[in-house]
Amino acid sequence: MNIYQPYLMSIKEITDETVDTRTFRLEFKDPEVAEKFTFNAGQFGEYSVFGEGESTFCIASPSTRKGYIECSFKASGKVTRALRRLSVGDTLGFRGPYGNNFPLDNVMKGHNMLFIAGGIGLAPVRSVIWTCLDQRDQFKDVTIVYGARSVGDLVYKRELEEWGKRSDINLCLSVDPGGETPDWKGKIARIPTAVEESGVKAEDTFAVICGPPIMIKFTLPVLTKLGFPADHIYTTLENRMKCGLGKCGRCNIGPTYVCKDGPVFTAAQIRALPQEF
């Protein structure tokens, strides 16, 4: 079996989240694969446009939903720009699922959950959020703190609305100062402040955080201040990847291959890594 052979996917739906972020809903062309394919929240894949190349994104849809996967991306390079040129019905390739996952089943179930995301960082966290919400009764309190530079940069707006209406979710939306619109009803604050003011308690809570490095840098001390131990804070790392399965030697940070030992890590694990990422 040639492990570099991708599944063929058909684009079922295209959603423009923001002016530069697009979501694809993809279905497996092979019905047998569609039937059998499973993954865990946090895993990623190599999505490809044949002739242009492969690109690494997380699977942004929840593991509880079968028959399709979703990914969200910004057009920033050769392959992502090519992906943006595709239409509903077009074919692309997918290799995966790769990597480890957020330990929802064996660690997080039965506890409170705090989800923190910034900008397009909501994509991998969304997978965990929906997997959690699809089994809502298995978790205690759920708090979501999500923000972006401006209202226009918020992604998954329909779902943000849906989450905001639910009584079993404490949703805190915020935009950076200067990013608000006249009718903005959410917070005006950066994520670290929004987390601090969300009222979330560290006791019996697992945090899942993803966003720009600077956001993570300033949010981790807030979580520590609130009393979150470093092994209760989970994040997902990015690094330049090619094979996605541990062979091409590109994505390692010290002895850790982000594609195999990650991409999900606790803050404790990240602190122990050589700071070369």
Shortest distance, position 22 Cβ to another protein, whole Å: 15
Cβ at position 17, least distance to another protein in Å: 18
**Nearest residue to 55 (alpha-carbon basis) of 76, 85, 26:** 76
Residues lying near another protein in the complex (CB under 8 A) are found at 1-6, 8, 10, 29, 48-54, 76-78, 80-81, 90-91, 93, 238-240, 242-243, 245-250, 252-255, 260, 274-277
Least Cβ distance, residue 254 to another protein (angstroms): 7
How many helices and strands in the chain, by DSSP H and E?
Answer: 7, 15
Question: Is the CB of 6 or the CB of 164 nearer to another protein?
Answer: 6
CB of residue 6 to another protein, shortest distance in Å = 7
Closest contact distance (angstroms) between CB of 5 and another protein is: 4
- Strand pairing class (142-148; 112-118): parallel
Q: Which is nearer to another protein, 56 or 219 (CB)?
A: 56
Q: What whole-number distance in Å separates Cα of residue 126 and Cα of residue 114?
A: 12
CB nearer to another protein: give 222 or 245: 245
Nearer to another protein, 36 or 85 (CB): 85
Q: Cα dist. 194→3, 71, 113, 212 in Å?
A: 44, 27, 16, 16
Toward another protein, which CB reaches closer, 4 or 136? 4
